[in-house]
Amino acid sequence: MTIEIGTTLTDFADHMLDAVFLVDTRGTIQYVSPATEGILGFSQRDMTGLAIMELVLPEDRDRTRAEAGHVMAGQRRFGFENRYLHKSGEAVHILWSAGWLEVERLRVGVARDISALRRPASLLARGMALASAPLAPHEQKVLQQLLTDASEKQIAQRLGLAVSTTHSYVTGIYRKFGVRSRAGLMSLWLNHVPPR
């Protein structure tokens, strides 16, 4: 059974950088936004019609079912974390915000990949060893955020900093790593830091 979903909602979701999921009362994925492929490796076609629990790591399923129950009871939920299986077989840490669409009888969830934030602290320390000078504590926090898809404004909000201060930290980090952009930083990081 396929549910008709309003094009306005999906058109909006198609342009979001975070992944958007619409899941029916049986736990079947009715829609995923294009951003999902970048996070989990599966195409929209691959995921539509799947039971969402098939993608959740087995050890996180009970907590995830309980969270889904809260959402279906009409509670808006923020900050729930669990792990999904990437098409490559690797675990992806997801941060969720979710709510219930009563008329459509669908759970809507917005998912953000926070895997980079869940790596061991030693991984960040090894990456910082690549810098030409030590990083200050705030620079370390900004660096962690730079290795996600967060904008400078989002980084500032997450860390409680002014945007101009965050930009100064970002500029200093680039200088210390000898790069000119986030792409250069990511390239340096990927080429020198061992995989998880």
**Do 46 and 125 fall into the same domain?**
no
Amino acid at 149: D
- Distance of CA 189 to CAs 37, 114, 128, 176, 178, Å? 23, 17, 9, 13, 12
pTM to 2 decimal places:
0.59
**More confident site: 143 or 118:** 143
Closest to 146 (Cα-Cα) out of 119, 183, 110: 183
Instruction: Evaluate if residue 195 carries a pLDDT over 60.
Output: no
Do 102 and 44 share a structural domain? Answer: yes
Alpha carbon distance 196, 190 (integer Å): 11
Model confidence band, residue 167 (pLDDT cutoffs 50, 70, 90): very high
One domain, residues 143 and 91: no
Which domain range does residue 131 map to? Answer: 119-192
Answer whether residue 1 is part of any domain. no
Pair (112, 175) in one structural domain: no
Q: Are both 88 and 16 inside the same structural domain?
A: yes
Domain boundary among 84, 116, 148: 116
Q: Is residue 19 part of a domain?
A: yes
Residues 97 and 140 in one domain: no
Asked if residue 83 has pLDDT above 80, the reply is yes
Residue 131 domain-assigned?
Answer: yes
Instruction: Confirm whether 73 is domain-assigned.
Output: yes
How far apart are alpha carbons 189 and 130 in whole angstroms?
8
Query: Is 174 in contact with 143 (CB distance < 8 Å)?
Result: no
**pLDDT above 70 (res 129):** no
Q: What is the CATH number of the domain that holds 150?
A: 1.10.10.10
Are 64 and 156 found together in one domain? no
Are both 35 and 77 inside the same structural domain?
yes
d(CA 99, CA 95): 14
pLDDT at 14 over 80: no
DSSP 117-158: GGS-HHHHHHHHTTSSSPPPHHHHHHHHHHTTT--HHHHHHH
Tell whether 2 is covered by a domain: no
pLDDT recorded at residue 122: 46
Per-residue pLDDT of 36-73, as tens digits, reads 988 999 999 999 999 999 999 999 999 999 999 999 99
Beta strand segments in the chain, E: 19-24, 29-32, 77-85, 91-101, 106-113
Confirm if 27 and 47 have CB atoms less than 8 A apart: no
Confidence of residue 143 (pLDDT cuts 50, 70, 90): confident
Kindly state the helix (H) or strand (E) to which residue 16 belongs, with its residue range.
none
